[in-house]
Amino acid sequence: NAGVTQTPKFQVLKTGQSMTLQCAQDMNHEYMSWYRQDPGMGLRLIHYSVGAGITDQGEVPNGYNVSRSTTEDFPLRLLSAAPSQTSVYFCASSYSVRGHNEQFFGPGTRLTVL
Amino acid sequence: AQTVTQSQPEMSVQEAETVTLSCTYDTSESNYYLFWYKQPPSRQMILVIRQEAYKQQNATENRFSVNFQKAAKSFSLKISDSQLGDTAMYFCAHYSGGSNYKLTFGKGTLLTVNP
């Protein structure tokens, strides 16, 4: 199993550009989520999904869109990048939301918005 | 809303010694889960230990153990026989067992193990 994969690992954008961060897992996990990590802030939840076709907002959803058309993939879209979105982004997945199993994290994407 | 507080932004310990990282949380749920995650310089998030709120016994994983005080809403991590490879950022996290499917993290404690 590859686990949770994220692409790209690094990205530089200009203000106003759009892009999609890719996340995939091959463990047939029900739950997937996106976090951003900023210095001194820990990890903050952006969006999450409890299954294909079901998504919901987390703590900091503004400026981001998600969709979950398959169990495996959970892309994060930046609609119009802003410098405030400069961060490290992590995708995570877990087997089930019931009883909460361990979340497996991807390696992260470092995004810089100029 | 759940909150998780880690009051120690940075800590250091000598190799082979014991260190305790503090974490407090606030929740209105009766059934929930608590975690400690480790993030070494590689940036990879690694689960260290997990505690289910309805279990009174403190969780242990080799050199890592927790002191779970449910009434005080405290969840500290003790690392025994510290090793250089324990140098990392440590995050405390809370997950509600109800319909709020969200893992809430503290801001982290940077632990440095000195030789």
Mean pLDDT by 10 residues, chain B (115 residues): 91 97 91 92 93 88 95 96 97 79 90 97
CA–CA distance, B46 with B38 (Å, rounded to integer): 5
The answer, for A74 touching chain B at a CB cutoff of 8 Å, is: no
Quote the pLDDT of residue B100: 63
At A22, list the tokens.
């890719």
Q: Closest approach of chain B CAs to the CA of A84, in angstroms?
A: 18
Quick: pLDDT tens for A92-113. 998 876 656 788 999 999 999 9
Quote the pLDDT of residue B27: 87
Chain A neighbors of B43, CB-CB under 8 A: 88, 107-108
Which residues, 6 or more positions from A11, have their beta carbon under 8 angstroms from its beta carbon? Answer: A19, A21, A109, A110, A111, A112
Quote the pLDDT of residue B54: 86
Report the residue of chain B nearest A42, measured CA to CA. Answer: B107
Quote the pLDDT of residue A107: 95
Quote the pLDDT of residue A93: 93
The answer, for A58 touching chain B at a CB cutoff of 8 Å, is: yes
Quote the pLDDT of residue B91: 97
Spans of chain A below 50 pLDDT? none
At A15, list the tokens.
């203000």
Report CB contact under 8 Å: B105, A100.
no
Chain A neighbors of B45, CB-CB under 8 A: 43, 90, 92, 105
Quote the pLDDT of residue A100: 61
Quote the pLDDT of residue B96: 77
Quote the pLDDT of residue B19: 98
Residue-wise burial string across A18-37, b where 16 or more C-beta atoms lie within 10 A, e elsewhere: eeebbbbbeeebbbbbbbbb
Report CB contact under 8 Å: A92, B45.
yes
Quote the pLDDT of residue B20: 98
